[in-house]
Chains A and B, each alone.
Chain A
Amino acid sequence: ITEVCGAKRVGYFGPAQFYIALKLIAAAQSGFPVRIESIKNELPLPRFMALKNDTDVRYGTPAEFHGVKFQVPHATLEKNSYKRTDEGDIQEPKSPPMSPICSPPASPSTYQRIPLTYGYGKARSGLEQQHGAPYEVRHSTHQQDGSSSGNYGAKSALTCSTPNRSLSVEREQQDSSTQYSDDPWRITEEQRDYYINQFRSLQPDLNAFISGSVAKNFFTKSKLPIPELSHIWELSDVDCDGALTLAEFCAAFHLVVARKNGYQLPETLPETLLPEFLQAACLKPMLDCALFESYSEPLPGSQQPRDFSRTEKSSAGEVPDNSALLQDGKKDDKQALKVSTTLKTIPKEFQHLTVKTAAQEPNAFRARPRSRSYSSTSIEDAMKKGEGPPTPPPRPQKSHSRASSLDLNKIFQQNTQAVRSGWLPPPPPALPPRPSVSQTEQPSEVELHPQMNRPPSQAEENSSAKKEVVLAQPPSKPARRKLRTEAQGLETPELSPTINVTSSLPAVKPHLPVQKQSSKQKRAIQTAIRKNKEANAVLARLNSELQQQLKEVHKERIALETQLEQLRPVTVL
C-alpha cells in the first residue's frame, strides 16, 4: 500500500498519499487488490480495529477527500494541500506558527474547527486524525526547517511522525497552543479544558482558589527550574494573593506548557492570558462541567482527541486508541502516565478494548495514532515529565487552605465515588497509584474497585501500599512524610507495584455491567488486599531497617573521616 499510494516514491506520506493509503486499506479489507484502480471502486470505509466506534464517521471524510483528491497526481502535493484547505470541511489546520509560509486562506476557520472536532465523535473527526498527522508533521517539519515548508505541512503523517516524534511532541503542543491568530499565548479549547480539569483535580470548586503550596507542588512536577516557575507565578498571579483562581491557573499552566515547548517566557503577561480575558473565555468550559463524567482528561491541543470526552461515543474509541498506543510500549512512562490520566474517566470496559485493539491496528493507522498520542501527550509530558519514575502525578499533597477537605477528590473520584479522599486510581502505570488520602477509607475504596472491574491487585496494592506508606514512614522520603499528613498519599515506589495502564484507570464510573460482580470481586479483592498489605508491611519494615543501617553506616563514615582528618598531618595551605 505504501508503495502504491506513492509514499515510497516521494518519501513520505503527504495528505494525498495518506488518503490514498486509507482508500487502499479499505480496498484491501474489502478484498480488492491493492492497486490504484481499486480506489475507484465504491469502497466501504477502512476498518481500523483500534477504533471501536467512529471508524465510519472518522473515515468518512477521508474517503470523501480521497475521492476529491484522487484526481490530483502525487506530484502536485502542494496543490493538494492548498486545495484541501479550500475545501471547507478539510480541516487542514494551518498551524500558523509552525508553517507560516503556507497560509491557507481558510486557516482560521479550519483551525478553529480542529480543536472542536478533535473528538472522534464529531462529524469531522476523521479529518482530525489526519490533521493530527499533518499537525505533527508540520511541527516536525518546521523544526527540520524545511523541506515541507512549501508543502503546507503536509509531511508524512506516518513515516515522518515516528522519527520526528519527539519533535512533534514538542511542536504539537506548541501548535495546539497557538490559535489562528498565530499567538502562542492564546489558549485553545482543548487546552482550556485540560487546564480546567487539572484545576479540578487540585480543587474541585472551580470558583475557589488553588493555594500557593498546592500550586507549587503541582507546577514543580513539570520539572521546570524553580526560577522559571517563580517567574511564571509572578506573571500569572495577577492579584498577587498567593493563590490561583481558575483563570490564573490556566494562564500559569499555559505558560508552563509554552516554556516546556521552548517558548521563552514573556516579561509581562500576554493579553490573552490575563484573567479577565480568560474569564470571559472560560465561561464556556464551565458548561462542560456536566460532561465531565464522560471526560477523559482532555489533552491540550494535541491531536489527541481530547474532545472525545465531550463527544460521547468517540471517547470509547479514543480510549482504546490511546491505551492501545500506550500499551504498544512506544511511549515511555510519561506517556503512559499521560494516557492513564487521560483515561482516567474512561470506563473500564474500554480497557480491554484497548488491549485487544493494540495488536490489530494496521501500521498506517497505528503510526498515526501513536504520533498523535505523542503529541497529545506533550502537555502531559510537560506536567509529568518527572513523574515517570518517582513523582506522582500532580495532586495536592498538603492541606489546601482553600480546598479544605474536599480537594482530595481527584478527578477520577469525582465521577464515581463519594467525595472522600477517595482512592484515586489514575496515576500512570509507571507511578504507583495514588492511594486516596484517608487510609480508613480504603475499605470503601476497595468496594469501589470491584465496580471498576479493575484488577484487584492494583487496588490492593494501592490501598495497602498507601497504608504502608503511612505506617512505615520511611525516613528518607520527605515527600512521603508529607503524604502522611495529607490525603493524597504518594505511593512509595518501592511499595507499590507497578500498575499497568488499564488497571490504573481511575475509579471509573461504576458502570452497570461491572457492578454485578461486585460482591465476589470484593471478597477476592479484600483477600488480595490483605495479602498485599502484609507484603507491604514486610517491605516497609525492611525498608526502615535498611534506612537505619544506612544511617549508622553514615555515622561511622563520618566518624572515620574525622579521625582521618585528625591523623592526617597538617596540610600546607
Chain B
Amino acid sequence: HSHCDLFSSQNYPLYIRSVPTENELKFHYTVHTSLDVVDEKISAMGKALVDQRELYLGLLYPTEDYKVYGYVTNSKVKFVMVVDSSNTALRDNEIRSMFRKLHNSYTDIMCNPFYNPGDRIHSRAFDTMVNSMMMQVC
C-alpha cells in the first residue's frame, strides 16, 4: 500500500493517488494531518534562508501501520508519501529518489503552458510516472 499526494502552497491537494485504491480515506486523513507536521518543519527553519532548507523532510512520523515522508519544494508545494511500515526494504535513499522523480515530473507539468499553478493535476504523463513508482514500492 502506498499513497502519494501533492499539496499546493495553500495546502489544498493538487494530486492524490493511492495504490491500491481501497481505504483511501484513511490515507487522506493521514496525509492531511501530516501537513501539519510539514508546516512545522518548514517553519522550524524559520530565519534560515530558504535555500538552505533541504527539500526532503524525511520521515514525518511513523504510525503503527505506515510511515509518512514529506518533501517540500521551494515554492512551498508539498509532496507527501505514505508507505506501508511492513515495507521495510524501503530505504531513505529510495524515498529520496522517489521524491526527486516526483519533483521532476512536477516541474515538467509546470512547463506546460496550459497548466495553471494551483490547478489539479490531470497530466497523464504524471499519472503514469506515479503509478509506476508506486508499483515499485508496493
Chain A residues at the B interface, C-beta cutoff of 8 Å: 212-213, 215-216, 219, 226-227, 229-231, 233-234, 237, 240-242, 267
Residues of A within 8 A of B111 (CB): 212, 237, 240-242
Interface residues in B109-138 by Cβ distance below 8 A to A read 110-115, 122-125, 128
Give B89-127 as 1s and 0s: 1 = Cβ < 8 Å from A's Cβ atoms. Answer: 000000000000000000110111111000000111100
Q: How far is the CA of A267 from the CA of B107 in the complex (A)?
A: 20
A242–B114 touching, CB < 8 Å: no
The binding surface of chain A is classed by DSSP as: helix
Chain B residues at the A interface, C-beta cutoff of 8 Å: 107-108, 110-115, 122-125, 128
Residues of A within 8 A of B124 (CB): 231, 234, 267
- 10 CB-based A-B contacts, threshold 8 Å: A212-B112, A230-B115, A231-B123, A233-B113, A233-B114, A234-B108, A242-B110, A242-B111, A242-B113, A267-B128
Q: How far is the CA of A215 from the CA of B124 in the complex (A)?
A: 20
With A230-B122, A230-B123 as given contacts, are A237 and B112 in contact (CB-CB < 8 Å)?
yes
Q: How far is the CB of B62 from chain A (nearest CB, A)?
A: 35
Q: How far is the CB of B54 from chain A (nearest CB, A)?
A: 24
A230–B108 touching, CB < 8 Å: no
A213–B112 touching, CB < 8 Å: no
Residues of A within 8 A of B123 (CB): 230-231, 234
With A231-B123, A234-B124, A240-B108 as given contacts, are A226 and B113 in contact (CB-CB < 8 Å)?
no
Q: How far is the CA of A237 from the CA of B110 in the complex (A)?
A: 12
Residues of B within 8 A of A267 (CB): 124, 128
B122–A233 touching, CB < 8 Å: no
Residues of B within 8 A of A242 (CB): 110-113
Q: How far is the CA of A278 from the CA of B7 in the complex (A)?
A: 38
B122–A216 touching, CB < 8 Å: no
Residues of B within 8 A of A231 (CB): 123-124
Residues of A within 8 A of B115 (CB): 230
Residues of A within 8 A of B122 (CB): 227, 230
With A227-B122, A267-B124 as given contacts, are A234 and B113 in contact (CB-CB < 8 Å)?
no
Q: Which has the most chain A C-beta neighbours within 10 Å: B110, B113, B122? A: B113
Residues of B within 8 A of A227 (CB): 114, 122
Q: How far is the CA of A316 from the CA of B114 in the complex (A)?
A: 40
Residues of B within 8 A of A215 (CB): 113
Q: How far is the CA of A312 from the CA of B134 in the complex (A)?
A: 59
Q: How far is the CA of A119 from the CA of B112 in the complex (A)?
A: 37
Residues of A within 8 A of B112 (CB): 212, 230, 233-234, 237, 242
Residues of B within 8 A of A241 (CB): 111
B125–A212 touching, CB < 8 Å: no
Q: How far is the CB of B20 from chain A (nearest CB, A)?
A: 22
Q: How far is the CB of B126 from chain A (nearest CB, A)?
A: 9
A226–B114 touching, CB < 8 Å: yes
Q: How far is the CA of A237 from the CA of B123 in the complex (A)?
A: 13
Q: How far is the CA of A358 from the CA of B128 in the complex (A)?
A: 54
Residues of B within 8 A of A237 (CB): 111-112
The residue of chain A having its C-beta at the shortest distance from the C-beta of B105 within the complex is: A240
Residues of B within 8 A of A240 (CB): 107-108, 111
Q: How far is the CA of A212 from the CA of B108 in the complex (A)?
A: 12
Q: Which 7 A-B pairs have the closest CB atoms?
A: A212-B113, A242-B111, A216-B113, A230-B114, A240-B108, A233-B112, A229-B114
Q: How far is the CA of A216 from the CA of B114 in the complex (A)?
A: 6
Q: How far is the CB of B65 from chain A (nearest CB, A)?
A: 34
Q: How far is the CB of A424 from chain B (nearest CB, A)?
A: 23
Q: How far is the CA of A245 from the CA of B112 in the complex (A)?
A: 14
Residues of B within 8 A of A219 (CB): 114
Residues of A within 8 A of B108 (CB): 234, 240
Q: How far is the CB of B47 from chain A (nearest CB, A)?
A: 33
A213–B125 touching, CB < 8 Å: no
Q: How far is the CB of A212 from chain B (nearest CB, A)?
A: 3
Q: How far is the CA of A213 from the CA of B116 in the complex (A)?
A: 11
Residues of B within 8 A of A226 (CB): 114
Residues of B within 8 A of A213 (CB): 113
Residues of B within 8 A of A234 (CB): 108, 112, 123-125
Q: How far is the CA of A464 from the CA of B11 in the complex (A)?
A: 49
Residues of A within 8 A of B113 (CB): 212-213, 215-216, 233, 242
Q: How far is the CB of B111 from chain A (nearest CB, A)?
A: 4
The residue of chain A having its C-beta at the shortest distance from the C-beta of B125 within the complex is: A234
Q: How far is the CA of A471 from the CA of B115 in the complex (A)?
A: 32
The residue of chain A having its C-beta at the shortest distance from the C-beta of B111 within the complex is: A242
Q: How far is the CA of A219 from the CA of B107 in the complex (A)?
A: 21
Q: How far is the CA of A566 from the CA of B125 in the complex (A)?
A: 51
Q: How far is the CA of A16 from the CA of B106 in the complex (A)?
A: 59
Q: How far is the CA of A231 from the CA of B108 in the complex (A)?
A: 12
Given contacts A226-B114, A227-B114, A231-B124, 7 further A-B contacts (CB under 8 A): A216-B113, A230-B122, A233-B112, A233-B113, A234-B123, A240-B111, A242-B112
The residue of chain B having its C-beta at the shortest distance from the C-beta of A233 within the complex is: B112
Residues of A within 8 A of B107 (CB): 240
Q: How far is the CA of A215 from the CA of B125 in the complex (A)?
A: 20
Residues of B within 8 A of A216 (CB): 113-114
Q: How far is the CA of A468 from the CA of B21 in the complex (A)?
A: 58
Q: How far is the CA of A227 from the CA of B112 in the complex (A)?
A: 11
Q: How far is the CA of A233 from the CA of B108 in the complex (A)?
A: 11
The residue of chain A having its C-beta at the shortest distance from the C-beta of B104 within the complex is: A240
Q: How far is the CB of A240 from chain B (nearest CB, A)?
A: 4
Q: Which has the most chain A C-beta neighbours within 10 Å: B122, B124, B125? A: B124
Q: How far is the CA of A566 from the CA of B102 in the complex (A)?
A: 50
Q: How far is the CB of A251 from chain B (nearest CB, A)?
A: 14
Q: How far is the CA of A110 from the CA of B96 in the complex (A)?
A: 56
Q: How far is the CA of A42 from the CA of B68 in the complex (A)?
A: 88
Q: How far is the CA of A120 from the CA of B110 in the complex (A)?
A: 46
The residue of chain B having its C-beta at the shortest distance from the C-beta of A214 within the complex is: B113
Q: How far is the CB of A156 from chain B (nearest CB, A)?
A: 41
The residue of chain B having its C-beta at the shortest distance from the C-beta of A232 within the complex is: B114
Q: How far is the CA of A230 from the CA of B116 in the complex (A)?
A: 10
